[in-house]
Amino acid sequence: MIRFSSIVRLNQPVRVSLQKMRCEPPLFAAWAELALYSYTFGLRVWYEGNSLVTHVVIVGAQWGDEGKAKITDMLAESADVVIRCQGGCNAGHTVSHQGNVFKFHLIPSGMLYPNKLCIIGPGTVINPHVLLQEIDTMQARGYSTANLRLSDRAHLTLPFHALLDKARENALAGKKIGTTGRGIAPTYMDKVGRNGIRIGDLYAPQSFLTERLTHTLEQNKAQLSALAVDIPTLSDLQAFCKEIAEQLKPYVCDTVALVHQAIKRDESLLFEGAQGTLLDVDYGTYPFVTSSNATAGGACTGSGVGPSQIDQVIGVMKAYTTRVGEGPFPTELHDHIGKHLLEVGQEFGTTTGRPRRCGWFDSVLARYSTQVNGLTGLAITKIDVMDDLDEIKLCVAYEHRETKERFHQFPSHITTLAELDPVYETFPGWKQPLQNIRRYEDLPTETRQYLKRLSELSEAPVQILSVGPERDQTIILEEPFQKTASLKKKEHSHGAQEPSLIS
């Protein structure tokens, strides 16, 4: 296997030679020869290798709901393994496939392909009833779930977690975060507080599980009581765990070992993120954020794959901006344009059905996403939603409402963000439908001008452009997954040579 990072290491002498040439001009010829040899050797190894395997991370680069599911579904065709890394059933991924619409909350989007290994990783939190319902729905519609695997390290959302989540949100009154009320935050709080129940605990000796459930219950009783939430009994929790353990058993295994076996087999990995960069618990608009790391780093911690294994990070962004829930939103529109984006873009939450707040594309936010994710490319979605607009605006900076100071870096604190107004550049609309266009050069000049400026300000190239909801309504400018033409796609069962399932 030859990977991109290997080529970079092979050509390290090239960079060294350039540094030496600047300080030691007489050695120019010798260093140039060495650099040329290194470059030639690297290319020879590259082309003579059996394959060029790529591991790609897909992240939401705005406030979530960017269309990650479609991009993941499309790229999954070239991947061998698709891994969901973080979050829980608060995520909602909508995929349109052959005229059918699928709404996933936990199952990876690659599940629509028959020969893909789909993994729900250690960084996720699992509502078992939601997962089992999704499995039943897939099977009822004729799709196999035989290649689905669930990490034994993932944490379990218990029944009282959702009740606690809703009660805490209601108690905030006018200061609500905008949570989905699915119990995600309480599950992660128990995880970080070392009070959580992991999927693997369901199959541990009964005494161990009873001890863990007792501890979890004791740690949550005070808060449940304070918020007037019914406190479950130990017997209730034991019965819940016994019921779901049997149903989940066919899918549970050590997914870390499974992923690294796939890497050794030279298989390509696709990491599917949930939510978005500005909802990341560390880098988002805190406290109006989710409870996990939705940035690219979360793909590593949530899967058990080290950062040196990652080749590309694709940031998915809408051609405009949306967000669900509370918190500052500099480019938000409250006029007829905002209504147009909402209605034509069908901007309603997959999980909650809530209408999304809509606004113009924010390049300050986008550039920040490029920075904290290390984006190597962009996938721009829903550009066709703006087909009928006379003019299109793009935020290029912020300006302080009182001091008139210009900001080109996304602020770290929401109080600052709330005091900033967007500074716009205006572009003419293209006033024609894009959904049937399949080549970048066939796009209207106005569309290409807008995308060129968007890419410049975001400091990342556009690799993928979605011009409609269907899989084939996509323009690929640069294929993230690359393999040599001679490489034949492996057709194999992922049940062989993988870690044992729970028995």
Q: What is the pLDDT of residues 204-219, one digit of tens each?
A: 999 999 999 999 999 9
Question: What would the mean pLDDT of 401-423 be, rounded to a whole number?
Answer: 97
Q: How confident is the model at residue 298 (pLDDT cuts 50, 70, 90)?
A: very high
Least confident piece of the model among 60-69, 369-378, 416-425: 60-69
How are beta strands 155-156 and 125-126 bridged, if at all?
parallel
Residue 247 has pLDDT above 90, yes or no: yes
Q: How confident is the model at residue 73 (pLDDT cuts 50, 70, 90)?
A: confident
What the block records as the tokens of 276 is: 């978005």
Question: What would the mean pLDDT of 379-401 be, rounded to a whole number?
Answer: 98
Least confident piece of the model among 32-46, 56-70, 95-109, 414-428: 32-46
**55-148+254-476 CATH pick, 3.30.565.10, 3.40.50.300, 2.40.128.110, 3.90.170.10:** 3.90.170.10
Burial 365-376, CB ≥16 within 10 A → b, else e: bbbbbbebbbbb
Among 85-94, 317-326, 485-494, the range with the most confident prediction by mean pLDDT is: 317-326
Domain boundaries, the chain: 4-48, 55-148+254-476, 155-247
Q: What tens digit of pLDDT does each residue of 479-499 get?
A: 898 643 333 344 444 444 556
Residue 30 has pLDDT above 60, yes or no: no
Q: What is the mean pLDDT of the chain?
A: 86
Q: Return the active site residues.
A: 65, 93
Measure Cα distances from 375 to 82, 296, 310, 311 in Å.
19, 9, 11, 10
Q: How confident is the model at residue 38 (pLDDT cuts 50, 70, 90)?
A: low
- By CB atoms closer than 10 A (0-12, 13-18, 19+), residue 383 is buried
Residue 283 has pLDDT above 50, yes or no: yes
Peptide bond into 287 cis (omega under 30): yes
Residue 11 has pLDDT above 60, yes or no: no
Q: How confident is the model at residue 229 (pLDDT cuts 50, 70, 90)?
A: confident
Query: Can you name the residues that pair with 398 across neighbouring β-strands?
Result: 407, 422
> Rounded to the nearest 5°, which phi and psi values hold at 219?
-70, -25
Question: What would the mean pLDDT of 466-486 be, rounded to a whole number?
Answer: 80
Residue 57 has pLDDT above 70, yes or no: yes
Residue 9's pLDDT is 38
Measure Cα distances from 118 to 111, 130, 211, 351, 468 in Å.
6, 17, 32, 21, 25
Residue 80's pLDDT is 95
The Cα 120–Cα 87 span in angstroms is 10
Reported pTM: 0.85
Question: What would the mean pLDDT of 410-421 be, rounded to a whole number?
Answer: 97
Measure Cα distances from 416 to 109, 174, 278, 410, 456 in Å.
37, 20, 15, 10, 25
Name residue 349's amino acid: G
The Cα 64–Cα 47 span in angstroms is 38
DSSP 87-156: B-TT--EEEEETTEEEEESSS-GGGGSTT-EEEE-TTBEE-HHHHHHHHHHHHHTT---TTEEEETTSEE
Share of the chain above pLDDT 70, in %: 82
Share of the chain above pLDDT 90, in %: 66
For the domain spanning 155-247, the CATH number is: 1.10.300.10
Residue 468 has pLDDT above 60, yes or no: yes
Sign of CA dihedral 272, 275, 277, 282: negative
Residue 416's pLDDT is 97
Q: How confident is the model at residue 399 (pLDDT cuts 50, 70, 90)?
A: very high
Query: Which residue in this structure is represented by tokens 């039943």?
Result: 136
Number of other CB atoms surrounding residue 502 within 10 Å = 17
The beta strand positions in 191-234, using DSSP E, are none
